[in-house]
Amino acid sequence: MSPTEVRAGASLAGVFGLRMLGLFFILPVFAVHAPQYEGGGNLTLVGLALGAYGLTQGLLQIPFGMASDRWGRKPLIYAGLAVFALGSFLAAAAGDIWTAIAGRALQGAGAVNSVAMALAADLTRERHRTKVMAMIGSMIGLTFAISLVAAPVLYRWVGMAGLFALTGLLALAAIWVVRALVPEAPAPAPAPPGGARATRWQAALDPELLRLNLGIFVLHVNLYAMFLVVPGKLVAAGLELPGHWMLYLPVVLVSFAIMIPPILYADRRNRPKPVLLGAVALLLAVEIALGSMHADVAGLAAAMLVFFVAFNVLEALLPALVSRLAPAQGRGMAIGVYNTTQTLGVFVGGVLGGWLAGRFGPAGVYAACAALAGFWLLVAGGMRTPGRIGAVNPARG
């Protein structure tokens, strides 16, 4: 990769890391803390509070992506991060579950994921894009690991209000990173003869992109639904909340080491399909195992290791495939649609997971996640591998 590509990948990974670290701080502890809110004993509302972020993200990813195609990536990123910070500070002041829901929804209104990923694609050549997306995906996974370790400790020190306030401060720090460290995007390419509107429809409705959009939706339904029940299962198995890091830290670090070879294989051999199918099959297997196993700490640790291997591989592979398959003039739109389905997965995972946990217990959550993973595996079986393009675009370094 060129120095500009390395700088773009590292700085944008830092932006994602700062933003996602705050979000992930909430995930391992919110369900345990929620009964302290007025109205927080209702599991459906707890799930809604976790998932409200995903609903507003889902509604605004496409508008943000389209606006960035027209007015530029960085101004939209600044605006979105500022809105996200405001939502964090509102949630920090919450004393009841509905205010927490409103804060989470306002956080989601800062829908910058699609814009930041489109900027990453703008600044890199196609042959290096999987590496850059893997950098971003690995940073997201690393911040997830840090949050799983640090969140219970920080929660003990500063409480839920402090965690939300820290989330807002990290978003403000991300604004500085974008301004000071992220390279400027090249000028957009001219629209094709069919016009920009036709290109955007192509980006929205392409069957291969729709397969990938389904995948990221299912992946995040699984993630958020599981974290409504897994922390409680660990507590029931004898591992109290402040000690959860002793399980999460080694599991996530080992999962990073395991994910690297398949990602490199997919990139260097242009063989993303078998890697993707293998990771989805792992996701299906772990949901089936969780639904049938006895809830002991060792068994949960093994299941979470398999889950995080699959999650990290897919989190790096899916956006890289989207950026390769999307038309250049509609990349913001395509990634906006992708991130819409991702964040709608957050919303559905939170709400559906909370409802299923309240009605059927953890077994109902695992069964629903397994059914979705199995459906994804069937749909992904028909995907085609994008062609390898080795041409250099001088405008992108």
List, as one string, the DSSP characters of 226-286: HTTTHHHHHHHTT--GGGTHHHHHHHHHHHHHHHHHHHHHHHHTT-HHHHHHHHHHHHHHH
Residue 98, CB-side half-sphere exposure with 13 Å CA sphere: 1
Architecture of the 3-181+206-384 domain: Up-down Bundle (1.20)
pLDDT of residue 94: 93
Q: What is the pLDDT along the chain (397 residues), one digit of tens a residue?
A: 788 888 888 888 888 888 887 777 887 788 778 889 998 888 788 888 888 887 887 788 778 877 887 788 899 999 999 999 999 999 999 989 999 999 999 998 988 887 888 888 888 877 777 677 777 877 877 787 788 778 878 888 898 999 999 999 999 999 999 999 898 876 655 555 554 555 556 666 778 889 999 999 999 999 989 888 888 888 888 888 777 778 888 888 898 889 889 988 887 777 889 999 999 999 999 999 998 887 788 889 999 999 989 998 898 888 878 877 777 666 667 777 887 888 788 888 888 888 898 889 889 999 999 999 999 999 999 887 766 544 333 333 3
Q: Which of 174, 200, 218 is nearest to 318 (CA)?
A: 218
CA–CA gap between residue 89 and residue 244 (Å, rounded): 26
CA–CA gap between residue 348 and residue 147 (Å, rounded): 22
- Asked whether 211 and 341 are in contact (CB, 8 A), the reply is no
pLDDT of residue 274: 93
CA–CA gap between residue 220 and residue 349 (Å, rounded): 7
pLDDT of residue 266: 83
pLDDT of residue 394: 32
